[in-house]
Chains A and B, each alone.
Chain A
Amino acid sequence: MMKPHRRKRLGIILFIAAGLSVAIGLTLFALSQNIDLFFTPTQVAQGEVNPGDRVRIGGMVREGSVESAQDSLQVRFATTDYVHDVDVYYEGILPDLFREGQGVVVEGSIDPNGVFQASRVLAKHDENYMSPEVKAALDAAGASADNHPMQPES
């Protein structure tokens, strides 16, 4: 079987690996807020974002909130986590996947009127893939009504 000096060497390796895992785990735990890509509308409502700070906010595009100008690329919509909303103003080309009820991440800052002036809009897609037929059948059954991937976690 294993010779003692090999067992000792394996023990040292396991000890180093375990020690480093704990150290890195604690570091990541301490950094966890900073590694998040975006703030949620609830965090904005709780005052975690100062007006003027460049931040990203992530949420769903509220159904029925999108107003686009006829003669320009200006668009207004509300992004929501279905608890709080943030109004967003953006002028530019939206990603193909941008639509009501879909996830977005907007980059920019909150102006003095409380409107988020976005300089970039990214579309977020969820982890569900299906054909339009399956989607239609699910919608008919009303099964996907509570399928919001970006609900706040706490």
Chain B
Amino acid sequence: MWTWFHRLGSPKWFYEISGRWLPWLTAAMLLFLAVGVVWALLFVPQDYQQGLTNRIMYVHVPVASISLAFFPMMAVAGTVSLVWKMKLADMVVKVAAPLGAWFTALALASGSIWGIDTWGTWWVWDGRLTSLLLQFFLLIGMISLRSALEDGDAAAKACALFSIVGSINVVVIKYSVDWWNTLHQPATNFTADPSQPNGPEIWVPLLLMVIAVYLFFIISVILSTRNEILYRERRAQWVEELVSQS
């Protein structure tokens, strides 16, 4: 296990292996996305209360759930970067921040569109919405922190600590709907029983969409990490060979 872990420290090794994964990941994502989108937008039954509006769920829930994955991921990578000084881990922390900000913005926007149609307002300062907006600002702050520090090592340390501390907010976002009363609904409990609310006809297409967006998230992180590898290792011989070949 430790040899595998130490091999991960080699950006060259990661660049090569991720290049082999990408076509498979992309194919799987397109498959899940195609089936999921068609199913969710055309065949999911209308909701007894919201009619067609609840189909926004099939965009909002995947995007929002993945926006919560960024800080824990950056915290793990940040810890690795702090403790083992692994360059690759810091690259992941760096590229994840703007991606996370985009996903958080999409979650807020899709939620707002859903909100105006069901709640009757774009925005309300309840626990869930406010804590997610805080996550957006934390990510913007992290991007600024990175670009403000010119010394790469100092930036890596600061951003790693920032991501560990920021992860606490994910717990707040997750449980905000249970700890306080909010306009946002609490988490839905899905069931395998088709005669009950939240049955398979609702959640199977949602699961497909969540998998599709998760794959998209993984692909995005890999692609931007590869970009970052090429940039940081631009003086390494293997990168020069790679560039001269293309």
Contacts and interface: CB of A to CB of B under 8 A. Distances in A.
Contacts of B79: 10, 13
Nearest to B75: A17
A130 B193 CA distance: 12
B23 interface: no
Given A38-B181, A131-B45, A125 B57 contact: no
A143 B181 CA distance: 25
Q: Interface SS of chain B: helix, strand, loop or mixed? A: loop
A149 B119 CA distance: 15
B50 A37 contact: no
Interface in A45-59: 58
Interface in B122-137: 124-127
Q: Is the interface of A mostly helix, strand, loop or mixed?
A: mixed
Interface residues of B, number: 48
B107 interface: no
Nearest to A58: B181
Interface in B154-184: 161, 164-165, 167-168, 171-172, 176, 179-183
Given A97-B119, A122-B121, A137-B195, A131 B183 contact: no
24 contacts: A1-B2, A6-B83, A9-B83, A17-B164, A32-B179, A35-B127, A36-B127, A36-B180, A37-B180, A37-B181, A97-B118, A97-B120, A122-B120, A123-B120, A124-B119, A124-B183, A124-B185, A125-B185, A128-B197, A129-B47, A130-B196, A130-B202, A131-B45, A132-B45
Q: For the complex of A and B, list the 3 residue pairs with the smallest distance between their C-beta atoms, beginning with the closest.
A: A95-B120, A131-B45, A128-B197
Interface of A: 1, 6, 9-10, 13, 16-17, 20-21, 24, 28, 32, 35-38, 40, 58, 94-98, 102, 105, 120-135, 137-138, 144, 149-150
